[in-house]
Chain A
């Protein structure tokens, strides 16, 4: 663990990018950052592939780059254009504060990773695991503090990226079938939420989900 490998640099960078997403209220900027974050993760997967020569990882790297790195951000950006939702507003935490909270959680996730059991022999990446946990936290903060439906979806994607990062660094040889199924589910989920956002815009004339509270009793 003394020398930090390039894949760990990529993953740590992606966790920091996830914190940066929290710092921007412009939907477009956060979507580009999301694409960048996913690309970094795809890059790390590719580097792992070169390192271990597992063919699954190579396939996955390409799939992740195409789906999460390109398709999803572009689709969501197209959606924001259609829905005229350019700026988000934070609902109960000011933006700088939520970003600071994320940086704090980033540090905390290193502490949490220390508690995890160590592998016997297999290469386990300390930084990668911390980056994964940190991204899950960032995604959760994003989902809790933002108003726009599109930001909620962004938050969900950050959580998913975090879980994937954790899986990438803590396990070897996840069955490809499972990974593909997860990606497929994710893509369908994005499409369905995208369609729903259109409907929300049509019926309520905004996509501020904190105002959807007719059913609350």
Chain B
């Protein structure tokens, strides 16, 4: 109980501070300090699990942590800390430019951001499928306000779409969860939603309810993860939210939904109906990656581009889940989150300086700010899986295991998708980085606002070139 309390304490304090009516400038500073402390606390909590002292820890009846949840929990808190740091820099710049339309908007950003962080933490520590569902739905509700931050018509439309599509999708996951419960009480046992108990008596679960429940959960959480054709909310929400919020959505919220799918897949794999838990996610993931890579080519907005690239990575991660290798999924998730957060933060800087999201109006980023241009180029390489970066290792291992498991068609589709995504992203990036900037937009991007994304980019590079990946894989 104390552990759970300490995970929620600092975000709750942040919420209280937002309500208390401190000035925005002070709230900003405190928020950054609180979130980095929160990251330290989270790391301390998960450390025994990651270092291998204990395979899993139990907090109470319904809450616990396994090694995959542990890595993702600390990753989520790291991403949140980075995003909020960048948000503070962004709001500071805005204040200097005297373009703060409404002070309450910033407060509500911090308030709901902190709530979102609590909800996401609960996703990773819930060992009860019902509470897992409640937490995932709570993340949707909290993040809707972040998407609506700009308070204009487009943001409104994106928020409405996000809320309705995800709520209905998640309703299906609730239906699936109930079917899992029904499956657990068919053979005379008392029904339970505790995943640990379900894993123990996997063989006694009723097969029909189990398969139906799995399909419904896949549909539901798949909507939240943005798999094709349920992805319609994803590009708009990512594109309309402010950069720091998009980074949170892409870098940690997608992981939450995928983590839920991963838990359930693990469970169904233990039963004799494991075929459904491997063929469906692999096929669906490959299809998602292919569609996303096709859509990347004709994108018109810089953040839309990264949104579709996230969708492509979700497809790859779904394949890893279907392979029954959660370790590869977590490795991919870590790499993707680091780089994608960096890319969204860089894009925020670019949009702020040039004043448009449209790719065909962004020219000469290298000329405006060489550091920013170089960072974007490196991150774009990382996100498409170019060798020195960590995601290359993850993608390579996933492709390798697909071939080993004789899923040749899926491997081929995934290979084509990765190649096309590389070409699409490359084309857009070259266009934006090259050329001459309009003289009116030649304002400098302050180096301090490039710090966070550059560090993230460096982290991804370190994961690729050092033995960190090896160590991570050994832990998982």
Residues of chain A touching chain B, judged by Cβ–Cβ distance below 8 Å, are 116-117, 119-122, 136, 143, 149, 152, 156, 159-160, 163, 166-167, 170-175, 177-178, 181-182, 184-185, 188-189, 192-193, 196, 199-200, 203-204, 209, 212-215, 217
Contacts and interface: CB of A to CB of B under 8 A. Distances in A.
10 contacts: A163-B178, A171-B178, A174-B181, A178-B193, A192-B145, A193-B164, A209-B164, A213-B157, A215-B236, A215-B240
B175 A136 contact: yes
Nearest to B176: A163
Interface in B149-185: 151-154, 156-161, 163-164, 167-168, 171, 174-175, 178, 181-182, 185
A167 B161 CA distance: 28
B175 A185 contact: no
Interface of B: 62, 128, 130-131, 133-134, 137-138, 141, 144-145, 148, 151-154, 156-161, 163-164, 167-168, 171, 174-175, 178, 181-182, 185-188, 190-191, 193, 206, 208-209, 236, 239-240, 300
Nearest to B157: A212
A178 B186 contact: no
Contacts of B130: 174-175, 177-178, 181-182
Nearest to A199: B156
Q: Is the interface of B mostly helix, strand, loop or mixed?
A: helix
Given A166-B178, A170-B178, A170-B182, A189 B163 contact: yes
A167 B208 CA distance: 16
A215 B174 contact: no
A152 B188 CA distance: 40
A128 to B, nearest CB: 12
Contact of A117 (B62, B154, B209): B209
Contacts of A143: 164, 168
A192 B62 contact: no
Sorted nearest first, the 3 A-B pairs with minimum C-beta distance are A178-B130, A181-B134, A167-B178
A130 B93 CA distance: 58
Given A156-B168, A167-B178, A167-B181, 15 more contacts: A116-B209, A119-B186, A120-B187, A122-B185, A156-B167, A159-B171, A171-B182, A172-B185, A174-B178, A178-B131, A181-B133, A189-B141, A192-B141, A212-B160, A214-B157
A171 B131 contact: no
B144 A200 contact: no
Contact of A149 (B62, B160, B167): B160
B285 to A, nearest CB: 24
B159 A196 contact: yes
A215 B241 CA distance: 13
